[in-house]
Each structure stands twice: as structure tokens, then as C-alpha cells.
Amino acid sequence: MYYRIGEIDLLQSRVDEAIRWLERARSANTEYSFIHAFLAAAYGLNGEPERAAAELAEARRLQGQGSYSSIALLRKGFFGVSKNHALFEATFFAGLRKAGMPEE
């Protein structure tokens, strides 16, 4: 549940709170790539590019085979209502860009 709380905080632009919960989630579940990806986005939005890049690298390592390689590929796999798309664009994808993820 730590991850879900962190995800919601991130999508609501409560970055400091998101980092706190996502770090707890990472400690409890070190092998889940999506936790590292969300933490990368949160660190990116928080102005911590080195930490963001390290978390993104870990998400890629865990998921393998080109995962988390571009924003465009992540968008293809995105599901949900259109209202959520704007939240993801403003937070998750914006943070991943700051972590070094290319658009294409």
C-alpha cells in the first residue's frame, strides 16, 4: 500500500510526501520496477537528477528488454480514464523526463 499512497501523492503534485511513501515502498519491495520508476519521477520533480537517474536505471534493470526506454512507449501501455492522462503528463512523465528518459 505504500506504493499506492506514493503514486496518489505524486499525481496530486505532493512530491515530498510521494518520495516518503515511495521510499518506504522501495524498502519493502526492492524488486518491483514500477516503484523505482515512480520514485525516479518524484526525484526528478524534486530537483534531484542524480537520484532520479539512478532509480530509472534500476527500474530498467529490473524490467529488462527496453522497458522504461521512452515516454512514447510508456504512453502506449497506459490505461485509464482521460482525466488521469493529464495527471500523469504533469507529474509522472514530466519527472521521468527530468530523470533522463527520452521522449521517443
Per-residue HEC secondary structure of the chain comes to CHHHHHHHHHHCCCHHHHHHHHHHHHHHCCCCHHHHHHHHHHHHHCCCHHHHHHHHHHHHHHHCCCCCCCHHHHHHCCCCCHHHHHHHHHHHHHHHHHCCCCCC
Specify the pTM. 0.93
Q: What's the CATH class of domain 2-98?
A: mainly alpha
Q: Where are the domains of the chain?
A: 2-98
Q: Residue-wise pLDDT tens for the chain (104 aa)?
A: 999 999 999 999 999 999 999 999 999 999 999 999 999 999 999 999 999 999 999 999 999 888 899 999 988 877 566 778 889 999 999 999 999 999 99
